[in-house]
Amino acid sequence: MSIYQHFRQEEHDFIDQVLEWKDTVIEQYASKLTDFLDPREQEIVKSVVGNHEDVKLAFHGGAEGAERKRALLYPPYLEPTAEDFQLKAYNLSYPEKFVKIEHRQVLGSLMGIGLKRSKFGDIYFHDSSIQIVLSAEVSAFVEMQLQEVGKVKVSLNELPLEEITSTVTSWEEASTTAASLRLDVMIASIYNLSRQKAQLLIGGKKVKINWKLVEQTAFECQEGDILSVRGFGRSKLLTVDGKTKKDKWRIIVGKQK
């Protein structure tokens, strides 16, 4: 039975990459550290590596409850430590009395200095500070290049990883019905919008499924998918429970609090 049949077509390239990592560990008997993976990619790595006796697997994202994490595939003789994940944490200071910085601005500024999204982890917002987790190999570059966010001057101070405080995601469950599992129909049902509005959001590049931008209104959603709609928050398809007498799908959805 092929491992590919459990995954969407667009995930097959990533599966090939994971199979390569796995083979490298087996052949070279050495560990392989990945970039930051989103939760969907982490699930794929777990499925592909499975319970292989020659390849062990661990994840670390800098803090308990981190969403984005690096994976370490390693031979059984190794005992991985936090250092093996090569993470660095920083506090982003700025004059918070006078300005407010938003998550998308920090994200945009990090990408704007030429950093790939896979090179940094979660961004945490607290009352008077912003904390970010980076791959150690890009930390010196970021220290030098990241001097402002939006138009606001910022400074980076390194933090011990233990001082990163993550925010735990909790989901509020609700049930809904939908005529189909198409993305535009699902967004309309979950967020109580017209289907036309849902289509505009998808066309406007404001919708992600499992952390990837999706622009097809007819994209077929599946149980377990995480939908993120800019301006409306994040939700998760917890269960798709078969059909009602009126031929609609019964869906239990979790909305992020």
pLDDT tens for 81-139 read 999 999 999 998 887 777 777 888 888 899 989 999 999 999 888 877 889 999 999 99
How many Å apart are CA 48 and CA 190, to the nearest integer? 31
Q: What is the pLDDT of residues 8-40, one digit of tens each?
A: 888 999 999 999 999 999 999 999 999 999 999
Residues 229-240 have pLDDT tens digits of 998 989 999 998
Whether pLDDT at 175 is above 70: yes
Check whether 42 has a pLDDT greater than 60. yes
Decide if pLDDT at 160 tops 70.
yes
Distances (CA, A) of 132 to 23, 61, 89, 109, 115: 32, 11, 6, 12, 13
pLDDT of residue 1: 57
Determine which helix (DSSP H) or strand (DSSP E) holds 83, and give its type and residue range.
none
Mean pLDDT of the 165-179 span: 83
Integer angstrom CA distances of residue 50 from 8, 13, 42, 73: 18, 18, 12, 11
Helix (H) or strand (E) holding 10: none
For the chain, domains (ranges, CATH) are: 3-84 (3.30.1370.160), 87-163 (3.30.70.330), 171-256 (3.10.290.10)
Radius of gyration of the chain measured on its C-alpha atoms:
20
Nearest to 178 by CA among 130, 239, 231, 131: 239
- Please give the Cα distance from 80 to 57 (Å, whole number): 10
Q: Is the pLDDT of residue 248 over 80?
A: yes
Model-level pTM? 0.85
Where are the strands (E) in 75-222, listed by range? 87-93, 120-125, 130-135, 148-149, 152-153, 155-159, 171-178, 207-209, 212-213
Q: Give pLDDT tens digits for 190-227.
A: 999 999 999 999 999 999 999 999 999 999 998 889 99
